[in-house]
C-alpha cells in the first residue's frame, strides 16, 4: 500500500481551495479524543496541487516547501500510478 501519511484516514482533515489553474488540497492532522492531540489545532502535514488541465498531482510532502510530482516522493517509491 502506498501512503503519504502514517495517520489513519479518520484522523486527517482535507481543506480544498479552488485556484485558477489548480485545486490546492491541504492535508491536516485531525485532533479528537479518538485521534489524540489538542482539538483546538489541526497542524498541516502537507499540501497537494491538482492541475485542472490534466489532473497531474504535485505535493510538498517531502520537505514542506517544494512541490514535486506525487509519484516522485520517497514514500511513494515502488508504487505504480495505476
Neighbours of 29 (CB within 10 A): 19
Task: Indicate the domain borders of the chain.
Answer: 9-76
**β 68-69/57-59 pair status:** antiparallel
Give the pTM. 0.81
68-81 pLDDT, tens digit per residue, is 998 765 555 446 55
- The SS3 of residue 66 is coil
- Distances in whole angstroms, Cα of residue 57 to Cα of each of 13, 44, 61, 68, 73: 18, 18, 12, 8, 11
* pLDDT (tens digit per residue) in 29-82: 999 999 999 999 999 999 999 999 999 999 999 898 999 998 765 555 446 554
Amino acid at each position: 500500500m502506498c501512503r503519504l501519511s502514517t495517520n489513519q484516514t479518520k484522523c486527517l482533515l482535507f481543506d480544498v481551495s479552488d485556484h485558477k489553474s489548480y485545486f490546492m488540497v491541504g492535508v491536516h492532522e485531525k485532533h479528537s479524543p479518538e485521534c489524540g492531540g489538542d482539538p483546538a489545532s489541526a497542524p498541516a502535514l502537507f499540501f497537494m496541487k491538482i492541475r485542472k488541465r490534466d489532473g497531474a498531482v504535485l505535493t510538498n510532502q517531502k520537505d514542506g516547501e517544494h512541490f514535486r510530482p506525487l509519484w516522485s516522493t520517497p514514500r511513494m517509491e515502488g508504487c505504480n500510478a495505476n
